[in-house]
Structure 1
Amino acid sequence: MLYFSRWKTFSIWAVVLLGVLFSLPNIYPQSLISSLPNWFPTRQMTLGLDLQGGSHILLKIDTNDLIKAQLESARDEIRTQLRDTRIGYTGLSGTGKVVQVRIRDANQIAAAKEALKSLTTPVSSGLFGTGSVTEMAMDEPEPGLLRFTMTDEGISYRTATALNQSIEVVGRRVNELGTTEPIVQRQGDDRILVQVPGLQDPQRLKDILGQTAKLTFQMVDQTVPVQEAMEGRPPAGSTVMFSRDDPPVPYLIENRVIVSGENLIDAQATFDQRTNEPVVSFRFDSKGAGRFGQATQQNTGKLFAIILDNQVISAPRINEPILGGSGQISGSFTPQSANDLAVLLRAGALPATLTIVEERTVGPSLGADSISAGKFASMVGAVLVIGCMLLVYGKLGLIANLALAANVAMMIAILTLMGSTLTLPGIAGIVLTMGMAVDSNIIIFERVREERAYGKSIVQSFDQGFKQALATVVDANLTTFIVAVILFYVGTGPVRGFAVTLGIGIITTVFTAFTLTRWMVAFWIKRSKPTEFPKGLVHYLPLEPSLPFMKFRNWAFALSGILSVAIIAMMFVKDFNYGVDFKGGSMIEIQAKSHQADAADVRSRLEQLNLGDVQVQEFGTEGELMVRVAAQDAGDNAEQSAVEKIKGEFAEDYDFRRVETVGPTVSSELAWTGTIGILVSMLALLVYIWFRFEWQFGIGAVVSTAHDVIIIVGIYVFLGLEFNLSSIAAILTVVGYSINDTVVIYDRIREMLRKYKKMPIEEIINLALNHTLSRTILTGLTVLLALAALYLYGGEVISSFVFAIIVGVFVGSYSSVFIAGPMLILFKLRSETFEKEDGARKSGASSTVAPASGS
């Protein structure tokens, strides 16, 4: 284990060197990166929205819009086809998903069915048109009454088509804003995720995304005064519409569309040469130019309206025919609003309305504060972990710290090459990995120390220590990796960033522990030729203590049982403090421009806005407040309206540093996926440990882990901490840590069962717990040091997230010792199980149990 060939040495250091090279640009200033040679890596990690500011917006396509448009299209086609074939009809109407028409002459029913056959003709779908979909089905409930019903597969097809078209339109709109590296991608069957980092004006993005931008040119109906049409009934073929002025001006508009936005080929924000006012200049294609020119020739002296999303932008008079295919739109624009309209027109109209169902916006000032806090917390955590390892292991601690530095460099390099986005929870993942990475070295070093105590030479001790620790380290880290994978799939946004960082950190940890650390130990032994294990503070901990853990197991069971039952009972009488992730609503972080915030004043002003339940509390530094607004009853759009009211009320006195808005649709889904994530992680761990050990170990691990989850949830309920997506991430992290600890102990119990076949199970478990005690204490200490730095200096945003993990480290260590181990006694685990497996292995039979190993 301590011999390395030249090619292995070269490979190890090549990987480490590449990791350092690709991670270095992340600490270089931009001025230095631009001056580096072309061959040198210059790519940097993308910072998440919580670190550089920006917006995360989830849009949902309005299926009702699509159904309504399809019904109108079907009604128009029925009318046109029956008129063209001179078939008399009556009662043409559409409601819900159904359009129906009655044929007057029974002798023309067959001809009507043939004329309307196109409505039920299948349309091609799928890749290369390999499939087909019937959008409407026809039936005849009574003679002469033809009914056309939209099919579910037809609606799904329309939705998928509209979603793809919407993604293209949204992408063009976002790119027109000139933002860097925006993300526009499909999410689910009817949603679009938009992430724009570094955006200075999130409201502008929302305004641009929230408009359908359906532009039409229609004539103004001047045959009847508009007030008369409003008081009575508008003439057939005309509709009353209002302008975007304040107060809005009514117009009577003919329904016939002269030209639509589909005929535009360009739109630019310019200035009117006569008035110097901002306007939008446009150009039609040849078809649009011909239709527009013909209409202006026939209607000289009349008014025509330019309409955007059923609102009149302007209604100028046609003084002369416009034959050039170009013109301009005026309407009290500002330079920015004119530019935004031009952006919308160039990008094209959306096929249906998009509703904002989730928004997470971070202002640039908060992002800068988060970066500063994250860097400082990481540095403090690194210093504490490095100092701890030096004090405990001396020279070996120095080797472990060098491996840790390489580990972090490789982790950052991989994140950079993958194009991953670094978020504040991602920084938490790096800091946590720093604390957990030393666990592999602690397991190895403690095993070496035991081998040396058995009388082996220092070389044999290190060689056997690495061999015996291999299975333990792999098992312990793989269980945590399973949790990271599940966390990635059930999480969203920053939570996923944490999962990615943690997962990559586990991979680099295992690599450095059994390649780089082992190489440096081999090099140190060859050069220094030590005769004893390096001294450190660890010698103040007994190598094999004899604490009577099993003597207190019944007390521990009773205590844990009482606490668990009490917490479950408390959950029925005391509500969770659910965050907006799970109950919907809005959470807004504001900072007083005068640096003196008055919570009482803000609360009273909010109550006047009639937004329902509103909470205001001091948050972070002086002058900052956190405003929570309960979910509005009028659907997802109402959340955005509530935020707009608050901004209108407080924009002059406060800066909006962070806005999180979740509609009722998304909040229920997040709650469900969070619950599923915890359950799936428990099931996956049960299966893995059952496979690697025995069913008794699997159930024992799941019971102890479930105990940890209940205790952590109880902490949230008892202290009234906000329970949100980050809380789910914290619980799953605790699950990973706890199972990591449990696997190390179980691995030693399994080894003891094979070694001491006649010893009672209680004594074996007690012996295993004592043998792994120093590792349990040292690992917990290093992890807590890293987490403490993050809790104290990482900022208010993730403090509750880190606090839950800190509590979880204590709870997880306790359950690994007093719950997971003693559970094996209840299941009457016997060493005969492993005797049979050993016999099967010796006879060549396959076995699912790993070779004996220890911590």
Structure 2
Amino acid sequence: MLYFSRWKTILIWLTVLIGLAYAAPNVLPRSWTEGLPSWLPDKSVTLGLDLQGGSYILLEVDRASLVKERLQSVQDEVRQLLRQKRIGYSAIATKDHTISVRLRDPAQASDAQSALEQLTQPISSGLMSGGSVAEVELAQPQAGVITATLTDQGIAYRVSTAVTQSIEVVRRRVDELGTTEPIIQRQGADRIMVQVPGLGDPKRLKELLNQTAKLTFQLVDQSENAETVAKGGRVPPGDVLLYTNDKPARPILVKRQVMVSGENLTDAQPGFDQQTNEPVVNIRFDSQGAQRFGRVTQANVGKPFAIVLDDKVLSAPVIRTAILGGQAQISGSFTVQSANDLAVLLRAGALPATLNIIEERTVGPGLGADSIDAGEMAGVIGAVAVVVFMLAAYGFLGVIANIALAANLILLFAVLTVIGATLTLPGIAGIVLTLGMAVDSNVLIYERIRDERRQGRSVVQAIDAGFQKALATILDANITTLIAAVVLFFLGSGPVRGFAVTLAIGILTTVFTAFTLTRWLVAAWVRRRRPKELPKGYLRLVPEVTKIPFMKVRLKIFGVSMALCIASIVSLFAIGPNFGIDFTGGTLIEVQAKQGAADTGDIRTQLTKAGIADPQVQEFGTQNEALIRIGAFGEVSDSSQQKLVDTASQALSQTYDIRRTEVVGPTVSGELAWAAIIGVLASLVAILVYVWLRFEWQFALGAIIATVNDVILTLGFITVTQLDVSLSTVAAILTIVGYSLNDTVVIYDRVRENLRRFKKMPLGQLLDLSDNEMLSRTTMTSATTVLALAALFVFGGEVIRSFVASMLFGVIIGTFSSIFVAAPVLVFFNLRSTDAAEAARAADLDEKKKAAEPGQISAGQA
């Protein structure tokens, strides 16, 4: 284990050097990296929205409006086809997804069905799907009645097509804002994720994305009075009642027939009217559109011509003369900004369907800079604490561990840079947690080396055996945490996935550095120094040899643990968790006073005056910051949540800066709740299967029982302290699952080893021995992790404080359960079946050997 060939040495240090080359741009000034040769890496880790500011918006295709529009289109086709065949009908109506046609002459039913047969022709669903879809099904439920029903496959096809087309339109609109590196991706079957870093005006982005921008030119019907129709009159056939954008809005009767559509536009630019100097939008049509526009204006001189955008009449000017040049002008009480935005929308093209904003998260650039500062401070302090602790605990071996830790962080940042990962605030938490957990592998190795040395091996033999025997334990322990991270990645979203990625990469780099770099450094030290004894540290949390009778108190500990679990479950129902908007839906706004301290009472008053019912306002972070929560009470739609943000922001804009907004509609919150539950259960099942395969079924059940104990107690802690339960809390719980199992598997690995070594030792005594042998490693690892998390809790900022507090409690309780719950559970499951006679003989033998072997631990028999 301590021999390294030359090519292995070269590969190890080449990996570290390549990692250093890719990680360096993250800390070097930009001016330096720009001056480097082109063949050197110059990319750095992309900062998430919570670190550099920006907007995250989740859009969903409005399926209902898409179906309604498709039904109208099919209904028009039905009318046209029946008229072409001269088939009369007395009524045509729509209900749900079905159009019903009642024929005047039932004898024409067969002819009518044949005429409508072309509606059922399948359409290609694309090369990738390799098939076709029938959008309409015809039926004849009764004599003289024919129904045309939209199929589920047809609707799904239309939704999928709308998403594909909308992505391109959204991308063009976002690009018009001049932002850098926006991320626009499809999510699921009917959603689009838009992430725009560094955006200074998120409200403008929402306005651009929330409009379909369907532009039409339609004639105005002057035969009826629009005011009379709006007050309850009958809309004439072939007309539609629309309203203007004016305040107050005016009704206008518009012919339903579209004379010219926005599909024929080739350009749209903001400008000013030469006569009135008001902002306008100048548009230009293609050749087909120019011909249509010319014919319509030539035939309707003296009549008003409505310019309609998303069923709102922008203006209805009277056609003074024929417009034959293919150019026109749109006016309508525009400001310079609104004229520019309309031009952007028209140039980008209309969306094929309405997109609803169902989730929004916006972070101001000021809060992003503060988050970076807080993360850097927490990382530096956590790293220094861990480095000092390792030096104090292991002396020169601690120096080697710290070198490996530095290489670990370099490789971690290098991998994040190469894969193009986005670093978020929870991602920084993952790095800080990696600082604490990365030393676990070295602690395992060093403690194992000390064990081998105490058993009489030479220094070289002890070091070689320590690395060799620690390998399986380290792999088992880290794979369980990796499973939790993988489940978290696939079931999480946004920052939670960033945390999972960072944690997973940290685990892989930790295993690599522990078994290559650390081993090479130790081997080099042994070759050059040829030590006669292992370096001693200056600090030990527990003595080298302990004889604590853990099994004697197992029933009392079980009683206490069971009582705490029951109390935690009761608190979940009696008090209830403080669910954040991720699970309840609602709006969260973080504000900062422009001058002086934030007045929560004044904020509450201003919001109430603005018409926002029951806002919850609390102090947050410093005295000049406050957090506003507006719950989603009753039947609240996704769109109304967006209006709440705009109302609140407008009410507070004079005295407060909006630092962060989060809007989670009821659609998303229900999905997130289920995803959280499934995520925890899936990780438990995956880890149960792994432990079962690696050990025996008793170990798997024992590990799950100990882990469930930790999860329940952590939930009780979160409930009693009323910490905010968000997606980050779920990430914390899943990490606690991985960490607790890490500890448990390490102890189980020693139990399995001792079962092979001491075949006749009573189980209770063997478990005591295993717990005592691993006590030093368990406490050392927990101490380093707690040091790193404590730095994050104190200096990491208010945004992730609930997340870190949950982690801190979980780490402490996980250490407790791995010793006092996981190992004793094996007794209840009768891991080693030994009858009373064999146990008695083994006990007698131990008593006889006690004087001759004083080093033997004589803990109480289970």
Give TM-score scaled by structure 2 length.
0.95
For residue 53 of structure 1, report the CA deviation from its aligned partner.
0.7
> Could you tell me which residue of structure 2 aligns to residue 458 of structure 1?
459
For residue 29 of structure 1, report the CA deviation from its aligned partner.
2.0
Q: After the TM superposition, which of the residue ranges 158-167 and 63-72 deviates more from structure 2?
A: 158-167
Report if the CA contact (8 A) 1:264-1:288 is conserved: yes
Matches within 5 A, 1:509-588: 509-538=510-539, 541-588=542-589
> Could you tell me which residue of structure 2 aligns to residue 233 of structure 1?
234
Deviations 1:706-747 (A, max 9, x none): 000000000111111111111111111111111000111111
Deviations 1:245-277 (A, max 9, x none): 222233222222111111111112233344443
> Could you tell me which residue of structure 1 aligns to residue 697 of structure 2?
695
Deviations 1:415-436 (A, max 9, x none): 0110000000000000000110
Deviations 1:452-506 (A, max 9, x none): 1122111111111100100011111111000100111111100000000000000
Deviations 1:131-166 (A, max 9, x none): 122211111122111111112122112111112112
Deviations 1:630-672 (A, max 9, x none): 1042321121121122122111121111111111111111011
Counterpart AA for 1:535:
K
Cα pair distance change 1:143/1:7, threshold 3 Å: same
Query: Could you tell me how far apart the structure 1 residues matched to 2:727 and 2:346 are?
Result: 38
Report if the CA contact (8 A) 1:753-1:831 is conserved: no
Does structure 1 residue 262 correspond to structure 2 residue 263?
yes
Matched residue of 1:58: which SS? strand
Report if the CA contact (8 A) 1:483-1:735 is conserved: yes
> Could you tell me which residue of structure 2 aligns to residue 417 of structure 1?
418
Does structure 1 residue 38 correspond to structure 2 residue 38?
yes
Deviations 1:729-774 (A, max 9, x none): 1111111111000111111111111111111111111111111111
> Could you tell me which residue of structure 1 aligns to residue 631 of structure 2?
630
CA RMSD of aligned residues (A): 1.5
Query: Could you tell me how far apart the structure 2 residues matched to 1:268 and 1:439 are?
Result: 62
Sequence identity percentage: 57
Specify which of 773, 778, 789 is matched with residue 775 of structure 2.
773
Does structure 1 residue 790 correspond to structure 2 residue 792?
yes
Where has structure 1 moved over 6 Å in runs of 4 or more?
none
Counterpart AA for 1:137:
E
> Could you tell me which residue of structure 1 aligns to residue 804 of structure 2?
802
Q: After the TM superposition, which of the residue ranges 230-239 and 691-700 deviates more from structure 2?
A: 230-239
Counterpart AA for 1:734:
I
Counterpart AA for 1:15:
T
Q: After the TM superposition, which of the residue ranges 26-35 and 377-386 deviates more from structure 2?
A: 26-35
Counterpart AA for 1:830:
R
Matched residue of 2:807: which SS? helix
Report if the CA contact (8 A) 1:612-1:630 is conserved: no
Matched residue of 1:137: which SS? strand
Matched residue of 1:322: which SS? coil
Matched residue of 2:267: which SS? strand
Report if the CA contact (8 A) 2:541-2:780 is conserved: no
Matched residue of 2:307: which SS? strand
Does structure 1 residue 640 correspond to structure 2 residue 642?
yes
Query: Could you tell me how far apart the structure 1 residues matched to 2:230 and 2:779 are?
Result: 79
Counterpart AA for 1:321:
A
> Could you tell me which residue of structure 1 aligns to residue 859 of structure 2?
none
Deviations 1:8-32 (A, max 9, x none): 0000001000111100101122222
Deviations 1:92-114 (A, max 9, x none): 12122111112222343222211
Counterpart AA for 2:136:
M
Deviations 1:316-367 (A, max 9, x none): 2222111111122122222222221111111111122111111111111111
Query: Could you tell me how far apart the structure 1 residues matched to 2:230 and 2:781 are?
Result: 76
Report if the CA contact (8 A) 1:437-1:506 is conserved: yes
Query: Could you tell me how far apart the structure 2 residues matched to 1:203 and 1:596 are?
Result: 26
Report if the CA contact (8 A) 2:723-2:802 is conserved: yes
Counterpart AA for 1:236:
P
Cα pair distance change 1:271/1:540, threshold 3 Å: closer
Matches within 5 A, 1:329-408: 329-408=330-409
Query: Could you tell me how far apart the structure 1 residues matched to 2:432 and 2:11 are?
Result: 27
> Could you tell me which residue of structure 2 aligns to residue 488 of structure 1?
489
Matched residue of 1:211: which SS? coil
> Could you tell me which residue of structure 1 aligns to residue 860 of structure 2?
none
Report if the CA contact (8 A) 2:581-2:664 is conserved: yes
Counterpart AA for 1:503:
A
Matched residue of 2:711: which SS? helix
Report if the CA contact (8 A) 1:754-1:831 is conserved: no
Report if the CA contact (8 A) 2:448-2:470 is conserved: yes
Does structure 1 residue 504 correspond to structure 2 residue 505?
yes
Q: After the TM superposition, which of the residue ranges 538-547 and 490-499 deviates more from structure 2?
A: 538-547
Does structure 1 residue 160 correspond to structure 2 residue 160?
yes
Query: Could you tell me how far apart the structure 1 residues matched to 2:614 and 2:721 are?
Result: 21
Q: After the TM superposition, which of the residue ranges 20-29 and 125-134 deviates more from structure 2?
A: 125-134
Counterpart AA for 1:118:
Q
Deviations 1:687-707 (A, max 9, x none): 111111110000000000000
Specify which of 686, 689, 710 is matched with residue 688 of structure 2.
686
Counterpart AA for 1:462:
I
Counterpart AA for 2:2:
L
Report if the CA contact (8 A) 1:56-1:359 is conserved: yes
Segments of 5+ residues of structure 2 without an aligned counterpart are 836-862
Query: Could you tell me how far apart the structure 2 residues matched to 1:129 and 1:187 are?
Result: 18
Deviations 1:281-314 (A, max 9, x none): 2111111111000011111122211111111112
> Could you tell me which residue of structure 2 aligns to residue 813 of structure 1?
815
Matches within 5 A, 1:68-79: 68-79=68-79
Counterpart AA for 1:649:
A
Q: After the TM superposition, which of the residue ranges 8-17 and 179-188 deviates more from structure 2?
A: 179-188
> Could you tell me which residue of structure 1 aligns to residue 109 of structure 2?
109
Query: Could you tell me how far apart the structure 1 residues matched to 2:228 and 2:260 are?
Result: 28
Counterpart AA for 1:674:
A
> Could you tell me which residue of structure 1 aligns to residue 734 of structure 2?
732
Query: Could you tell me how far apart the structure 1 residues matched to 2:551 and 2:524 are?
Result: 42
Report if the CA contact (8 A) 2:426-2:495 is conserved: yes
Query: Could you tell me how far apart the structure 1 residues matched to 2:136 and 2:370 are?
Result: 56
Q: After the TM superposition, which of the residue ranges 656-665 and 102-111 deviates more from structure 2?
A: 102-111
Matches within 5 A, 1:239-250: 239-250=240-251
> Could you tell me which residue of structure 2 aligns to residue 677 of structure 1?
679
Report if the CA contact (8 A) 2:239-2:253 is conserved: yes
Matched residue of 1:138: which SS? strand
Query: Could you tell me how far apart the structure 2 residues matched to 1:162 and 1:527 are?
Result: 69
> Could you tell me which residue of structure 2 aligns to residue 842 of structure 1?
none
Matches within 5 A, 1:427-446: 427-446=428-447
Segments of 5+ residues of structure 1 without an aligned counterpart are 834-855
Query: Could you tell me how far apart the structure 1 residues matched to 2:504 and 2:678 are?
Result: 20
For residue 610 of structure 1, report the CA deviation from its aligned partner.
4.4
For residue 831 of structure 1, report the CA deviation from its aligned partner.
7.9
Query: Could you tell me how far apart the structure 1 residues matched to 2:697 and 2:227 are?
Result: 81
Aligned residues: 833
